[in-house]
A = this chain, B = another copy of it.
Amino acid sequence: MGKHGKSWKVPAAEALRAKPDIEVADFDASATPGFAGDKKSGNELLVERGEHLAELQERLYAAGRSGDHRSVLLVLQGMDTAGKGGIVKHVIGAVDPQGIDHTSFGVPSEEEKKHNYLWRIRNALPRGGQIGVFDRSHYEDVLVVRVHNLVPESVWEKRYDEINRFESKLVESGTTIVKVAMFVSLEEQKERLAERLDRPDKYWKYNPADIDERKRWPDYQEAYQAVLDKTSTDVAPWYVVPCDRKWFSRLAVTELLIDALERLQLGWPPADFDVEAEKKRLAKA
């Protein structure tokens, strides 16, 4: 369940877990489910919890170095401007880069297109002791691919089950998967796109195609609805994070990672040598 900080009325992992009856079209992206505090207390808590996350991550890394095969995989999915990059910078940025294995999945390369859609995902899975971070993921193959009819329905409709089987095996092999669906409202997205057009230091983040995608918003909502309905499993549930308030989404993902790491019950690896004997050797060395 994970400890919940002073301002969480309900632990994040409970408050944000996708409910079976979730309606994406009615989702309030400006809400702060489970959290009683405001922006100021949220930002203060983020610093404190980021430090806790960093300590837990060090334990995971230490365990990996000592032969523990377990890992954590954070999957970030969301519409443009939802703030995936901000999560990487502000949440993942709080922990030691040595223990992070980050991959962005864009339009598949020529090489990637030659293989099944899970091929590039398998190649990017975290090793034991690492936190893998996926900025977009195999879910693109039932989101953008579905919305744009990049493959026939007969192909993508089979992928939900394939993904569930893939993730189930991954969990069995020791990877804790934290799947985060990041939802921003159409209005907030407009403001964020406008900011990119107002600031020359943000032009590089702007893509004219993003505006075309806005017209397909209902299609994306439908595609996300199917993802949540079909792939939120007991072993790899989805967490749905409202992202109109950046401070909240960052705090929320921090808590979800803390929850995942705490469930691993990581101690420090015991010495695999005779400590006292080594102290004597060192004294003479």
Contact = CB atoms under 8 A, between A and B. Distances in A.
Interface of A: 62, 65-66, 85, 88-89, 92-93, 95-98, 100, 102, 104, 133, 135, 190, 193-194, 197, 200-201, 203-206, 208, 211, 214-215, 268-271, 273, 275, 278-279, 281-282, 285
Nearest to A215: B285
28 contacts: A85-B98, A88-B96, A88-B97, A88-B98, A89-B97, A92-B97, A93-B93, A93-B95, A93-B96, A93-B97, A97-B102, A98-B102, A98-B104, A100-B102, A193-B282, A197-B278, A197-B279, A197-B282, A200-B270, A203-B270, A203-B271, A204-B269, A206-B273, A208-B273, A208-B281, A211-B282, A214-B285, A215-B285
Contacts of A102: 97-98, 100
Contacts of A206: 271, 273, 278
Nearest to A208: B273
B282 A62 contact: no
A96 B102 CA distance: 11
Given A97-B100, A285-B214, A204 B62 contact: yes
Q: What is the total number of copies of this protein in its complex?
A: 2
A95 B96 CA distance: 11
Nearest to A271: B203
Chain A binding surface SS class: helix
A89 B133 CA distance: 17
A253 to B, nearest CB: 13
A203 B282 contact: no
A268 B93 contact: no
Nearest to A94: B93
Nearest to A201: B268
